[in-house]
Structure 1
Amino acid sequence: MLPEPGPKRLRIFLVAGEHSGDALGGKLIAALKKRHPDPIAFAGVGGEEMAHEGFSSLFPLEDVAVMGPMSILPKLPRIIRRVHQTVDAAIAFAPDLVVIIDSPEFTHPIAKRIRKRAPHIPIVDYVSPSVWAWRPGRAKKMRPYVDHILALMPFEPEAHARLGGPPCTYVGHPLIEKLDQIQNADAKGLASRLNLDPARPVLLVLPGSRTSEVERLIGDFGDAVARLSASIGPIEVVIPAVRHVRDRIVEKTAGWTVRPHIVDSDDKYAAMRLARAALAASGTVTLELALAQTPSVVAYKVDIVMANLRFLLKVPSIVLANLVVGRNIYPEYLQEACTAENLAAALEPLFGETAARAAQLEGLALAPQKLRLAASSPSEAAADVVLSIAEDQAAGKSRRG
């Protein structure tokens, strides 16, 4: 007598388009394997973090990991080829579910084509596009090809409901898993290694992790540092730099009147805990600063194309920390307002025992609880939603087959 057939293996196709998505994908795969009792078959596109979980990518992530319209154009023919290759592979794999991870310029064209060729396959989008900030019409346009969104920000499910977007579940921001690491970073050890003058307050400068951000901001940041030091007296300046922009930061800060201590990005959290205040480019780093309870001033400049689209912005702030907490804790200076004079003037009160500093600290105390989930980790919460949808799909296949 033949043995009874075992349960059919769950099949999940994942597509990440850049390194931050790869990090999310790696944690998601680990959580899926932990939460599901049987082996899962994975396929798709990813990077090193997903590879560490045994995932084999169709092609190197570097082929498509580009940011912004000006960066995409030179690589467009190759990206288009990779989009079609990924769609063909997804259809051939016949998954129970597709998970696209962030990078909408790459992942959404893939999702649309999969939906057209295999409308029965559920598609989950891990990381919501910022429809709450600009081009809100994108939310409704996603409904035909995205079945569920896994949101990193607590305010995003309400935004999609209001804008007519797909069903959306808040699964938590991965930074909350680093809360202890951030808040217990060794600030004293860093100060000792850098031989900082204990009589001088520390300003943390974070000009961004992309070359374009550094190029646009570093000059104004340097002039602001000079103004601040002239106003309040001698200060120490620390700049954590990711590897690919470190040389540019060293070059651009060589003429600063206050010579900065440039450290590895691994020292970023210790520097946040050490600093009296920070001057930062807008981005995820503002959430890290909020979790570190570091008073800050935020600035940003974009290219001329994006600057001309500012009329599409629909939010009272572009600073993620402000949006999560629900109030404008960190002052922000964008485009023409991003001047050395404005930045120095906003930083100065953060170095004294002032009402401005006290107000920031009061608001920042709310950040951890705003990002924390009631139970489990963000990756496990995401895995639970993915497994629920995938298992429903697999059960439907069995009934039909």
Structure 2
Amino acid sequence: MPARSTSNVARKIFLIATEESGDRLGANLMKVLRQRLGGAVRFEGVGGQSMAREGLVSLFPIEELSIIGLAAVARQLPKILRLIRQTSRAVTQASPDILVIIDSPDFTHRVARRVRARDPSIPIVDYVSPSVWAWRPGRARAMCRYVDHVLALLPFEPEEYRRLHGPPCSYVGHPLTEQTGTLRPNADEQKRRDEAPPVLLVLPGSRRSEIRHHMAVFGETLGRLRDEGVAFELILPTMPHLLEAVSEGLKSWTVTPRVVIGEQEKRAAFRIARAAFAKSGTVTLELALAGVPMVTAYRTGAIEAWILIRAINVKSVILANLVVGENVVPEFLQDDCTPEKLIPALRDLLEDSPSRRRQVEAFAGIDNIMSTGNQPPGVRAADIVLETLRKARGSN
């Protein structure tokens, strides 16, 4: 297919985001691309409410792909495959100037491979790297066949792509770095951080399956910690759609947390917290940026645990550890996620212990590690998308 010059017409950009976090990234990218192109752009694709507010009419509601767990995926496989086929056909029929796939690699990469096979002239950018540094490292080299550029949210990822012989990869910055003002305390909030009893956050998960796996062991750990005479004020931030699952889990607890609901209330709790007891995931990076030391834990189903244990090839699964470059955050995974192991770690965290000080010192340098200079992540991402488009199309 011949290269198309689009210098005098509106660019057509196809975006695919199937999760809420990717939807927010996609919406910000659309906003910056519209500014960069002076409004001469048309968007098509798959997205959620945030991208809809920027003018995208989604091919299907992204809630159709809200599937968690291997068993659920197996049951829904025919529908997933149908949506992959539908989306890849829509891309090639639209013949966009560029395709941007955003996170959700199990879905978006399957679409990208089909698009590349049908129309190799469409450049493809992958916004949010799959965790090739943690498991399935062979994906990096395989991505060279269907991804032209990777936009990384974590500063160590470009070097990992070079090491693994993957496609070009650029660090554009994590959206959390633009939100530190809502995560860090003012003078009054810092005073509460330092006062007794210390505020302890408990963060059992952002998905119902995670809450189901964690609530019992988290509750038993905190109850026994209180019984041992350790004082703390407990706050459990959650979201409206998870409140029912959290409330059900709390029925077995002997300690009663203050449950706060919504993103603003969660950030307010972060700003006064002395420590956190959290499941592993993006929240560990959020806590690190907030300067909150933490103990992390994770449990999953037996089959998924068996697969993950054999697949993971990093010394830590904690994002905060990976970003700061040392294992300062203790992690208790699967069989190690027991009250007997968690209680001493939490007690240390609530005192002025060496392990607590080590985390505080490491987190103090995270701004420099994650810096993108004067360019916000969305701007860096948009500029690379447009540069990739220009290189592929041979236009100015």
User: How does the TM-score come out when normalised to structure 2?
Assistant: 0.93
Query: CA 1:186 to 1:215, structure 2 compared with 1: closer, same or farther past 3 Å?
Result: farther
Residue of structure 2 in register with 1:326 after alignment: 325
Letter in 2 for 1:330: V
1:342 paired with 2:353, answer no
Structure 2 residue corresponding to 1:253, chosen from 236, 250, 255: 250
Structure 1: gaps (5+ residues): none
Shift of 1:137: 0.9
Residue of structure 2 in register with 1:149 after alignment: 150
Aligned to 1:360, what secondary structure does the other structure show? helix
Residue of structure 1 in register with 2:3 after alignment: none
Aligned to 1:345, what secondary structure does the other structure show? helix
Residue of structure 2 in register with 1:202 after alignment: 199
1:113 paired with 2:114, answer yes
Shift of 1:393: 3.2
Structure 2: gaps (5+ residues): 1-5
Shift of 1:149: 0.5
Letter in 2 for 1:294: V
Letter in 1 for 2:37: H
Q: Distance in 2 between matches of 1:378 and 1:127?
A: 12
1:15 paired with 2:16, answer yes
Aligned to 1:308, what secondary structure does the other structure show? helix
Query: CA 1:187 to 1:148, structure 2 compared with 1: closer, same or farther past 3 Å?
Result: farther
Shift of 1:230: 2.2
Q: Distance in 2 between matches of 1:129 and 1:183?
A: 29
Q: Distance in 2 between matches of 1:102 and 1:186?
A: 37
Q: Distance in 2 between matches of 1:64 and 1:269?
A: 28
Residue of structure 2 in register with 1:363 after alignment: 362
Q: Distance in 2 between matches of 1:25 and 1:49?
A: 8
Residue of structure 2 in register with 1:383 after alignment: 382
CA displacement, residues 110-145 of structure 1 (integer Å, 9 cap, x when unaligned): 001000000111111111110100111111111111
Q: Distance in 1 between matches of 2:120 and 2:196?
A: 65
Shift of 1:68: 3.9
Structure 1 residue corresponding to 2:239, chosen from 239, 242, 249: 242
* Number of aligned positions between the proteins: 388
% same residue: 46
Q: Distance in 2 between matches of 1:72 and 1:81?
A: 13
Q: Distance in 2 between matches of 1:18 and 1:370?
A: 27
Aligned to 2:200, what secondary structure does the other structure show? strand
* 1:99-138 alignment, distance < 5 Å: 99-138=100-139
CA displacement, residues 86-117 of structure 1 (integer Å, 9 cap, x when unaligned): 11111111111100011011111100100000
Q: Distance in 1 between matches of 2:188 and 2:115?
A: 49
Shift of 1:305: 2.5
Residue of structure 1 in register with 2:299 after alignment: 301
Q: Distance in 1 between matches of 2:220 and 2:39?
A: 58
Q: Distance in 2 between matches of 1:277 and 1:230?
A: 19
Q: Distance in 1 between matches of 2:370 and 2:241?
A: 30
Residue of structure 1 in register with 2:34 after alignment: 33
CA displacement, residues 368-387 of structure 1 (integer Å, 9 cap, x when unaligned): 22122112111111000001
Shift of 1:6: 7.8
Q: Distance in 2 between matches of 1:299 and 1:185?
A: 29
CA contact (8 A) 2:202 2:278 kept: yes
CA displacement, residues 227-272 of structure 1 (integer Å, 9 cap, x when unaligned): 2212343321110011222112112113322211111132112212
Structure 1 residue corresponding to 2:288, chosen from 283, 287, 290: 290
1:229 paired with 2:231, answer no
Q: Distance in 1 between matches of 2:362 and 2:320?
A: 10
CA contact (8 A) 2:132 2:139 kept: yes
Shift of 1:306: 2.4
Letter in 1 for 2:82: R
Q: Distance in 1 between matches of 2:314 and 2:203?
A: 23
User: How does the TM-score come out when normalised to structure 1?
Assistant: 0.92
Aligned to 1:375, what secondary structure does the other structure show? coil
CA contact (8 A) 1:183 1:292 kept: yes
* 1:139-178 alignment, distance < 5 Å: 139-178=140-179
Shift of 1:300: 0.6
Aligned to 2:228, what secondary structure does the other structure show? helix
Give the superposed CA RMSD: 2.1
Query: CA 1:240 to 1:147, structure 2 compared with 1: closer, same or farther past 3 Å?
Result: same
CA contact (8 A) 1:28 1:379 kept: yes
CA contact (8 A) 1:18 1:66 kept: no
Query: CA 1:109 to 1:187, structure 2 compared with 1: closer, same or farther past 3 Å?
Result: farther
Query: CA 1:6 to 1:153, structure 2 compared with 1: closer, same or farther past 3 Å?
Result: closer
Aligned to 2:352, what secondary structure does the other structure show? coil
